[in-house]
Structure 1
Amino acid sequence: MNKNNIITLTSLLLFVFALISCGGNSSKFEVKGKLDNVTEGYFYAAREIGDSLLVDTVRINAKGEFSFSGTVDTLTFMSLYFNQNTKSTYILVDKGWTVELKGDVLFPDLISVKGGSINDDLTSFKEQNKDMLKSRVEILNVLSEAVEKDSVSGKSFAELKNINFTLSNIAANYVKANPDKIASVMLINTFFKDETSIPRLDENLELLRGEAAVFPLTLDLKRYSAKIKQSTVGTPALNFTLKDLKGKDVSLIDYRGKYLLLSFISTTCEACDRERKNAVEVYNQLKKDKKNIDFATIVMDTELEPISKNTLDSVKWTLLPDHGGWSAKTVEQYYIREIPYSILISPTGIILERDVSFLDLPKKLDDILSGKSK
């Protein structure tokens, strides 16, 4: 082989190695920035890879500066959690993207996220509505403190409701003007993924076009809507059969002819224990008044921790263990995402109301029986 051939072969090999090197880095992304009021020297970055959840611990210095990188195969949603998971925001990363964050974690909705067209679009939305978004966070902080002091103000709730309504209208207008943008999907997820907003969720999803219409989150939102609709107010309650504590089969249809308060609790839930006293008092009073109502409680996590003696001694209605935690069949059927949680069902098996408070139940029942309730 002559000298020219050697030089040619060497150059070709270097070119091939360069291509391989570039191809190897093409799936890399980088995230960096400067954030204020991070209370620890780290935060968490979580993203799904297939069926797995990958959580990275990201170091952040005393000045709030940080940087981390990784690889992805496609556009990926990433959640960031700060200050012992009490504050969070999200970003999107993709192959070759450099994403930069700047802002205050105490106001996560206002954190600027630049890099990648979707992040840029969402940051533009934040900047255009920053005053309203800041007011919402401030009201939420006031409400959080008030709940701890048991001094919640109805005025704060009204203000929050008005701000959320205005922001949802602004988001709807954005979707209408930008039906092909992934940013529209993210705004739909933020403002309309709620049990009470299903009609508006469907309406906005129908507007989506192009890549936004087939984006994975869009398909997830459609599945979410379908799941909610199968157990929403006004629909027939889905039947189930579980064994009670004596091993007897109990079905939902066994309660036909009576109003039923179907509750969901867990043996590992402290809030459920705190609510039990109110539940027992209301149940005893309704039975004393000879109201046509019964209670049934589905109990999660009995495979992890048995039902307590206090519960067994105080609860006089049917308890129905359902194994599988949040994946239990009845929990999925009724789309339960928090506990304790109660659903009121009519004597004909129709769902009358979701998220019912035990203390509010007597008046709600009186309103229904007197025809005052819609």
Structure 2
Amino acid sequence: MVRFCKIVVCLILLCSVISCKDKEGVIIRGEISNLKNPSILVTWISADTLAIDTVDVDIKGKFNYRNRIDTLTTFTLYLNNYESAAVVFADKGQILKVKGDALLPDLIEVHGNEINNDLTLFKQENRELLTQRGQLLFNLSMESQSDTANNKSMTRHDEIAKLQLLDHELILQAEEFIKKNPGQFSSLVMINNFFMNSDNPQALERVLDYMDEDVTNTRFASRLKSYSEKIKRSAEGEQIPYFMLKDKDEKDIYSHNFNGKYLVLSFVSTAGIESRETIDLLKEAYQKVDKDSVEFLTVYIDSDIYPVEYMENDSIPWKVVPEKRGWGSDIVDSYNVQYVPFNILIDPAGHIKVRNIPAQGVVKAIGNSTED
């Protein structure tokens, strides 16, 4: 019996040694506070396929996740039913540690290799900005969910304006980081995080030029360069990309139908206060412009999930498109629409005059209003 116990102990120790020498194993250990669910959803790309795992979390928010990979892999940890997420960069043979608050995902720290350590250092150096941003995003999310008349529009608009200022400051800090670290893969991640969704293709091109040749030869960098070329095609001053849509009556709408006129192209959602406010403001603008020289066109992005049924739609006096492919539609991709509401002003020659123009600024930008 004693000999048997010794054999069992030896086997356990041997398995532990083999496990430690598993060069393709990765371990992600973490502790996340403010988790509403007893599990985390983990996704990553494996052989060009999205793979998914569910990881159990204890009452203190602690978890331990193991996987086998053969190259640098990006794991996304989705928290609280996709309300927030944390990204972990892992390579074979590494042990990584994650710690943070599910309510402030931008501040979740990851340690264990150079990429994660660099990104965590940036978060630590900009903790105050990221905390303010996280709180504003949380406030706006709560207001959108309540979706009641009691919400104060001015307060929400002030919060959005403050959020834009914080985003601008973080972009400046990110660019300084990239300039100081042109040979780091973490700088490519920073470009992806802060410049990929930008409406400024010049900024993306500029930061890519900072990078050392060794880094720009990676597949990740090639993807960023391809994206840079794509958004140039829908930048201000460029000829509009071709589109063909179907309105709510299934009639075809082509981009060339608007030649010789200003076009206010708006992308909105059927859900959310901001989109409904935008439609109301666009209605006001529509009443002030010359209908012979200005047309409006509204695309509902999420009509595949939320049918375009609410009463405001019935009173829209211009063409409306329920885009059945949603965020996967060609027009969303070719016009680089990253969020809604989003308005684009196109001039009579078919050039993009202003991207992300506020609805209340349309009349002034056209300079072609009629007398009330």
Identify the TM-score tier after normalising by the shorter chain: 0.7 to 0.9
Q: For 1:157-306, list aligned pairs within 5 A.
A: 157=160, 159-242=162-245, 249-264=252-267, 269-271=270-272, 274=276, 278=280, 281-282=283-284, 285-286=287-288, 290=291, 292-298=293-299
Aligned to 2:73: 76
3-state SS, counterpart of residue 195 of structure 1: coil
> How big is the shift at 1:349?
0.9
Amino acid at match of 1:353: V
In structure 2, relative to structure 1, the CA distance for the partners of 1:279 and 1:62 (3 Å cut) is same
In structure 2, relative to structure 1, the CA distance for the partners of 1:106 and 1:245 (3 Å cut) is closer
> How big is the shift at 1:308?
4.8
3-state SS, counterpart of residue 285 of structure 1: helix
3-state SS, counterpart of residue 64 of structure 2: strand
3-state SS, counterpart of residue 237 of structure 1: coil
3-state SS, counterpart of residue 91 of structure 1: strand
3-state SS, counterpart of residue 342 of structure 1: strand
Aligned to 1:28: 25
* Separation in structure 1 between the aligned mates of residue 140 and residue 302 of structure 2, nearest angstrom: 31
* Separation in structure 1 between the aligned mates of residue 216 and residue 229 of structure 2, nearest angstrom: 17
TM-score (structure 2 length as normaliser): 0.78
Aligned to 1:3: none
* Separation in structure 1 between the aligned mates of residue 131 and residue 301 of structure 2, nearest angstrom: 38
* Separation in structure 2 between the aligned mates of residue 313 and residue 154 of structure 1, nearest angstrom: 26
Q: Is the 8 A contact 1:271 1:340 kept in 2?
A: no
1:369 to 347, 356, 367: 367
Deviates more, 1:66-75 or 1:219-228: 219-228
Deviates more, 1:175-184 or 1:275-284: 275-284
- Are 1:52 and 2:46 counterparts? no
Amino acid at match of 2:296: F
Taking only aligned residues, the RMSD between alpha carbons, in angstroms, comes to 3.6
3-state SS, counterpart of residue 348 of structure 1: coil
TM-score (structure 1 length as normaliser): 0.78
Q: Is the 8 A contact 1:143 1:152 kept in 2?
A: no
* Separation in structure 2 between the aligned mates of residue 43 and residue 181 of structure 1, nearest angstrom: 29
Q: Is the 8 A contact 2:265 2:298 kept in 1?
A: yes
> How big is the shift at 1:271?
4.2
* Separation in structure 2 between the aligned mates of residue 356 and residue 184 of structure 1, nearest angstrom: 30
- Are 1:343 and 2:340 counterparts? no
> How big is the shift at 1:230?
0.9
Amino acid at match of 2:260: G
Q: Is the 8 A contact 2:271 2:306 kept in 1?
A: no
Q: Is the 8 A contact 1:76 1:92 kept in 2?
A: yes
Percent identity among equivalent residues?
A: 31
2:37 to 27, 40, 47: 40
Residue deviations 1:36-75, cap 9 Å, x none?
A: 2222211211212243222221111012211011112211
Aligned residues: 346
Q: Is the 8 A contact 1:283 1:295 kept in 2?
A: no
In structure 2, relative to structure 1, the CA distance for the partners of 1:326 and 1:133 (3 Å cut) is closer
Amino acid at match of 1:365: V
Residue deviations 1:134-190, cap 9 Å, x none?
A: 333234444545665335266655554444333333322222222111111112222
> How big is the shift at 1:210?
4.6
> How big is the shift at 1:351?
1.2
Amino acid at match of 1:30: I
3-state SS, counterpart of residue 254 of structure 1: helix
- Are 1:318 and 2:316 counterparts? no
> How big is the shift at 1:28?
1.6
- In structure 1, stretches of 5+ residues that fail to align are 1-17
* Separation in structure 2 between the aligned mates of residue 26 and residue 113 of structure 1, nearest angstrom: 21
Aligned to 2:7: none
Residue deviations 1:240-287, cap 9 Å, x none?
A: 344556666542222122111223457xx4349846962784376247
In structure 2, relative to structure 1, the CA distance for the partners of 1:200 and 1:264 (3 Å cut) is closer
* Separation in structure 2 between the aligned mates of residue 59 and residue 86 of structure 1, nearest angstrom: 17
In structure 2, relative to structure 1, the CA distance for the partners of 1:336 and 1:159 (3 Å cut) is closer
* Separation in structure 2 between the aligned mates of residue 316 and residue 157 of structure 1, nearest angstrom: 28
In structure 2, relative to structure 1, the CA distance for the partners of 1:199 and 1:367 (3 Å cut) is closer
In structure 2, relative to structure 1, the CA distance for the partners of 1:61 and 1:321 (3 Å cut) is closer
Q: Which entry has the higher C-alpha Rg, 1 or 2?
A: 1
* Separation in structure 2 between the aligned mates of residue 157 and residue 306 of structure 1, nearest angstrom: 27
